[in-house]
Amino acid sequence: MTTPASVASDLVSLPDVTAQDEVVEICRDLLRIDSVNRGSGDGNERAIAEYVAAKLAEVGLETTLLESEPGRASVIARVEGADPSRAPLLIHGHLDVVPADPADWRVHPFAGEILDDCLWGRGAVDMKDMDAMTLAVIRDLVRSGRRPPRDLVLAFVADEEAGGVLGARWLVDNHPHLFADCTEAISEVGGFSYTISDNLRLYPIETAQKGIAWMKLTVAGRAGHGSMINDDNAVTALCEAIVRLGRHRFPIVLTPTVRMFLDSVGDALGIDVHAEDLETTIAKLGPIARMIGATIRNTVNPTQLDAGEKVNVIPGEATAYVDGRFLPGQEEEFLRQIDELIGPAVRRDWVVYDQALETGFDGPLVDAMASALRAEDPAARAIPYMLSGGTDAKSFSRLGIRCFGFSPLLLPAGLDFAGMFHGVDERVPVESLRFGVRVLDRFLAAS
């Protein structure tokens, strides 16, 4: 579906607002739209995609709404820049969120409530905050008649929380022409502040991310009565393999991105970073320690178990699901160790398998990010880092696009930002959204 661009006559009736004025309301609207993705095809982004398309069409942008399956909708739009000879910049964000149980939250996760100067809701940081900031900045850009230095391609996509098979990956496989001329991209989980002191805040920009290896492990055994001795019990064999995986610690491997990050942090904190005691150093990083600690080695975590239907029946098969992540350059070694740990009796099948990424912390785009941050926060110092998870950058990078995580937020020093992702009581400070809008506006003007 394509919405028409011929709505210029309506623009005069739009209120005279700025991106800072409307970013909170847009984010609030997005949080109130249930776009939960439970995986295995169980999701529906149609309603939120239509909201995004309407917001862009309201200021005269033509949008294309595409569905990979009924309800699994993504929205693409293009903003014309001043120099058509330059390659466009891709700004992409996902519209789906992971489930949330209202019983666990202080406020309802889909109420979009403002409490304690924060906007609460599932997706507040992952990643409806960046979706809202992008919408607010682009709407303000078009309303004011300003043209970015180059074309901007906007992609608001489905299914990121289940690996992007019905979202970014589907778009890249089936509609690559929409992004074919893009050379660089920005998206989630980067550009957030980490306070060292009143005079120094580090802003990690994502230049790398671990590969994804979600796997299903299956063991076949001999079914039988629960009262009898069974030396071929599938549950026992599977549990033994799961324990080996869950207790294993992969060796430390420092990629160029992680080494640069640790050197930058060590310099900022005035401490020596020693390879033989990295975990002690990382433990001093407070709220982001868990995220960074997972980037110095491959990881694997058992997450689901399934076997049997009755307590007195030994099942003939047992299955488990495992979340594996591997560092750039470590894929082959990671798979070798996984197979060694689970043993020959366990069958391994991929649920989601995707590449690791790493790019350099250099070039005009990185300079524009750093400059935009410093202009709004004189204490800002941009540094590179590796994301322990994965994003839709994995799919878009297949087109040769250089991808960065840059969703700028100035955060309170004590906020457990890493814990917000997929966590209970997810929230984003209202002033952080406004800060992000100002930074993004500066960045786009210089990129």
Per-residue DSSP letters for 1-57? -EE-S--HHHHTTS----HHHHHHHHHHHHHHS--BB-STT-B--HHHHHHHHHHHH
Q: Do the beta carbons of residue 198 and residue 293 sit within 8 Å? A: no
282-286, 293-297, 347-351: range with lowest mean pLDDT: 282-286
Q: Do the beta carbons of residue 45 and residue 72 sit within 8 Å? A: yes
Tokens of 225: 């009565």
Q: Range(s) for CATH 3.30.70.360 in the chain?
A: 208-354
Q: pTM of whole model > 0.75?
A: yes
pLDDT at 5 over 50: no
Average pLDDT over residues 391-399: 97
pLDDT band at residue 62 under the 50/70/90 scheme: very high
Residues composing the chain: 447
How far apart are the C-alpha atoms of 72 and 260, rounded to whole Å?
39
Average pLDDT over residues 157-172: 96
pLDDT at residue 271, as a whole number: 80
The helix (H) or strand (E) run that includes residue 171 is: helix 168-174
pLDDT at residue 283, as a whole number: 81
- Please state the three-class secondary structure of 202-213 as a single string: EEEEEEEECEEE
Q: Range(s) for CATH 3.40.630.10 in the chain?
A: 2-188+392-446
How far apart are the C-alpha atoms of 327 and 354, rounded to whole Å?
12
Q: 254: Cβ–Cβ under 8 A, 6 or more apart, which residues? A: 262, 275, 296
pLDDT at residue 56, as a whole number: 98
Average pLDDT over residues 248-277: 88
pLDDT at 10 over 70: no
Tokens of 400: 């040769």
How far apart are the C-alpha atoms of 8 and 24, rounded to whole Å?
25
Q: Do the beta carbons of residue 394 and residue 401 sit within 8 Å? A: no
Q: 86: Cβ–Cβ under 8 A, 6 or more apart, which residues? A: 149, 150, 151
**pLDDT (tens digit, 9 = 90+) per residue, 321-346?**
999 999 999 999 999 999 999 999 99
How far apart are the C-alpha atoms of 325 and 343, rounded to whole Å?
19
Q: What is the CA radius of gyration of the chain?
A: 23
**pLDDT (tens digit, 9 = 90+) per residue, 306-320?**
999 999 999 999 999
Average pLDDT over residues 86-108: 97
State the fold for domain 2-188+392-446.
Aminopeptidase (3.40.630)
Q: Which residue has the tokens 């999701």?
A: 43
Asked if residue 420 has a cis previous peptide bond (ω within 30° of 0), the answer is no
Helix (H, G, I), strand (E, B) or coil at 293: helix
**pLDDT (tens digit, 9 = 90+) per residue, 103-113?**
999 999 999 99
Average pLDDT over residues 117-136: 98
pLDDT at 431 over 60: yes
pLDDT at 14 over 70: no
Q: How many helices (H) and strands (E) does the chain have?
A: 14, 20
How far apart are the C-alpha atoms of 386 and 299, rounded to whole Å?
14
pLDDT at 276 over 60: yes
Looking at every residue in the chain, the average pLDDT score rounds to 93
pLDDT at residue 342, as a whole number: 97
pLDDT at residue 8, as a whole number: 32
pLDDT band at residue 16 under the 50/70/90 scheme: low
The helix (H) or strand (E) run that includes residue 113 is: none
pLDDT at residue 6, as a whole number: 31
How far apart are the C-alpha atoms of 296 and 290, rounded to whole Å?
11
Alpha carbon 53 to chain centroid, angstroms: 21
Q: Look up the CATH number of domain 208-354.
A: 3.30.70.360
